[in-house]
Amino acid sequence: MVTQEQNHSKSNPVIRFFSSVRLAIFLLITLAITSIIGTVLPQQEPLQFYERYGPNIFKIIKALHLYDTYHSWWYVTLLVLFAINLVVCTFKRLPTTLRLYKRDNLDISLDKLKHMRIFKQVVLPKNVSYEQIISEFKEVAGGNISEKPLENGKLVLSEKGKWSYWGLYILHGSILVIFAGALVGILLGFKGSVSLLEGEATNHCIQEVTGKPIPLGFTIKCNKFTLSYYRNGTPKDYRSDLSIIDHGKVVIHKILRVNHPITYKGITIYQASYQAIPRITIKIVASDGQQKILQVPAFERITWPQEHVALGIMRYLPSVHGVPAAQLWWADDSGQPPVAIWLLQGEQRELRRSNNIYQLSLINVTESYMTGLEVKKDPGVWLVWIGCGLLLAGFLIVFWASHRRIWLWIGEENGKKIAIMAGTANKNKLRFERDFETISEKLSYFSGGEK
C-alpha cells in the first residue's frame, strides 16, 4: 500500500533528485577519480613546485585547487552532496523498514505456511501432547518465541535476527560519521612545518601551502639534534631532543624519532627531515701572492675586498667518501660570469680567472643542524575511526545477519494430529535451509514421524 508520504516524495522533484541512484553513482565515481588525482599529484607543495607540469596544466591545478585537493571547496561540496544523498535515501527507505520490523509475523494463515518453499508436515501419534512438542521446539529452535491459537490448533513462532533490518542504517550512518570526521579535520585541523636550529624554540608552525603562521598554543624547543651514518656515508638515523613548554613549564621532554611522533593538546609532531647548516673555513691563494683564510657561514655572502671577490655556499654535503664537501659560488671583477666550484676537504682546487689563478682549499667545517618537523592537527580523526568501526559492523550485519522465522503449527486435520513446520529468511537462504534441516532432525517427531 502506497502511503501519502511516499506519494509526496515521488512528486517532490528535490527529494527525487537527492534520492536518485544516478546521483549516488555519479558522486561515487567523481569522488573516486578526484581522490586518485589527489593521490597521484603531490599535495600541499608550494605553488612554484607545480610549474614543472607546464603553464596550461599549472593554470588548471591552481584554478581547481588541485595542489590541496582534499581541502578544496569543490571536493567538500561533493562530500556534502553525497552525505545529503545518503540521508535522503535513508529516510525514504525508513517507513518500509519500520513496517517490516513492526509487522506481526504470527498473523499468517495455515494455507500460506503450506505453500512456503521450505516446509515439512508429519502426522503425530494421538497420545502426544501439544505442550510436549512445543516445549521441544522452543528448546531446539531458540530465538524469540511467540504463540497464538490458529485454525483448530496452535501456532508457535521462533524468530531470530529481526534487528538485522537496521544493518543498512548502521552502514549509512558510519559513512556519514566518516564524512563528518573528514569535514571536522578539514575545517578545524591544519598541517604545517617547523624548522629549528639547536637551541631555538617557536610557538607556531608554517602552513605548507599558504606560508601563513599558525599558533600552536605551546612552545616547541629543539635542545639537540643527533645524526648517525652508515660506513658508506648514508644517513642511518636522526632524532631531535625536544621540549614541549606550556605556560613556562616543560610538560614533555622526549627524543623525537621517525615514526615515533609526540602528541600534545591534539597536535601531533613528526620527525620529517633535517638540514645540515655548515660554517666552512677555506684558504685562498692567489697567483699574485695574495692569500686569505675566510669563514663562510651558510646563507651569507662573504667578500675579499683586496681581490674584489665575493662568494657563498650553494650546497653542502656532510659526507662524500667520508669527508665533507661544499659547492661555492664565486664572483669577481674579472668580467667573467660567476661560477660554481666544488671543494672537498683535504683536496686543493684551481680556479682560473682572466686576471688571476686561485688555489682553493676547504680546511675545516663546523656543523649545526636544523631539524625539520611536521606538525598536524586533525580533531576529526576519532570520528573517522569510530565510523570505520561502524562501517565494519554494518557490512557484517548487511551481508551475514538475516531475519530468520520458523513457524510450527500443531492441530487436527481430517481427524489426525498434524504438525507443520515452515520457515523463511530474508538473506543467506542456503544457510537457513541447512539450519532448518538441522532443527527438524533434532525434533523427534519430525525425524521419525509419519509424513
116 has pLDDT over 80: yes
446 has pLDDT over 80: no
Q: Strands 323-331, 339-344: parallel, antiparallel or unpaired by DSSP? A: antiparallel
- Bridge partners of 205, per DSSP, are 214
pLDDT band at 207 (very low <50, low <70, confident <90, very high): confident
The pLDDT, as a whole number, for residue 320 is 85
Give the residue among 125, 106, 199 at the shortest CA–CA distance from 409: 106
- What secondary structure does DSSP assign to 404-439, as a single string? EEEEEEEEEETTEEEEEEEEEESS-HHHHHHHHHHH
**Residue written as cell 617557536?**
202
Q: What 3-state class would DSSP assign to 29?
A: helix
Give the separation between CA 262 and CA 74, rounded to whole angstroms.
33
The pLDDT, as a whole number, for residue 6 is 52
353 has pLDDT over 90: no
Give the separation between CA 66 and CA 402, rounded to whole angstroms.
44
216 has pLDDT over 60: yes
Give the separation between CA 157 and CA 52, rounded to whole angstroms.
71
Give the separation between CA 94 and CA 100, rounded to whole angstroms.
10
449 has pLDDT over 60: no
Give the residue among 269, 258, 370, 263 at the shortest CA–CA distance from 318: 370
User: E strands along 126-212, which residues?
Assistant: 144-149, 153-160, 190-197, 201-207
Percent of the chain with pLDDT over 90: 54
1 has pLDDT over 50: no
The pLDDT, as a whole number, for residue 292 is 92
Report, at the CATH architecture level, how domain 105-161+402-448 is classified: 2-Layer Sandwich (3.30)
Q: What is the pTM of this model?
A: 0.69
Average pLDDT over residues 126-138: 85
Q: What is the mean pLDDT of the chain?
A: 89
Average pLDDT over residues 172-185: 91
The pLDDT, as a whole number, for residue 170 is 95
- Which cell numbers hold the place of 231? 660506513
The pLDDT, as a whole number, for residue 171 is 92
Summarised one tens digit per residue, pLDDT across range 280-333 is 999 999 988 889 999 999 889 999 998 889 999 999 988 888 889 999 999 998
Start and end residues for every CATH 3.30.310 domain found in the chain? 105-161+402-448
